[in-house]
Amino acid sequence: IPKGPAVVCGNHTANIDSVMLFLAFKLKERPAVIAKAELFKTAIARWFFPKMGIFPVHRGKADLAAIKKSLSVLKNGQKLIIFPEGTRVKSGELGDGKSGAAMFAMRTSSPVLPVYITPGKKAFRGCTVTFGKPFYLPKPEKADAAAYKEAAEVIMQKIAETGEKAQ
């Protein structure tokens, strides 16, 4: 796990994935976590999640507050956990990566840390969190949606490679 900022990208097959990945970090190095806004519906969640460094993103649109917060987290030297698929893929296979994680890494020159989490597990039973080798995405000539989408595919490939090595 690199020191300093990193975009921590993992596969996402179960609700418990974010908790398991969050707990894999040392207490002093707790990363920020970007999570779907629907998780913040209750008063307890709205109180507790921010205290743990978890902040909401409204999926399906350009959520400027979440984008600014993500960039700020990385510029301040923290790690950011994001699931590039944007949702759970219960089949256990990797889905298509969305461009957000790639954009954050490229805009802040932060490394990407690929993570593979054992699919189809129960909480605290048979779960393995495997960290891959951190890597940097190249700066594109033109930072646009196509460049970010291409970089997202690279991230998903690195997650897949991490999973292959874990098995």
User: How crowded is the C-beta side of 146, counted as CA atoms within 13 Å?
Assistant: 3
Q: Of 51-55, 59-63, 143-147, give the lowest mean pLDDT range.
A: 59-63
Interatomic CA distance for residues 148 and 42, integer angstroms: 33
Per-residue pLDDT, 88: 62
Per-residue pLDDT, 56: 92
Torsion sign across C-alpha atoms 19, 24, 30, 33: negative
Per-residue pLDDT, 90: 60
Interatomic CA distance for residues 50 and 56, integer angstroms: 9
Highest mean pLDDT among 88-92, 97-101, 138-142, 153-157: 153-157
Structure tokens, 119:
């699919």
Phi and psi angles of residue 35, each rounded to the nearest 5 degrees, phi first: -135, 155
Are 82 and 59 spatial neighbours (Cβ–Cβ below 8 Å)? no
For the segment 37-51, the average pLDDT, to the nearest whole number, is 91
CB atoms under 10 Å from CB of 15, counted, come to 10
Interatomic CA distance for residues 99 and 151, integer angstroms: 7
Per-residue pLDDT, 125: 67
Phi and psi angles of residue 134, each rounded to the nearest 5 degrees, phi first: -65, 150
Per-residue pLDDT, 123: 60
Kindly report, residue by residue over 108-158, the tens digit of the pLDDT: 999 999 999 887 666 666 778 889 999 999 888 888 889 999 999 999 999
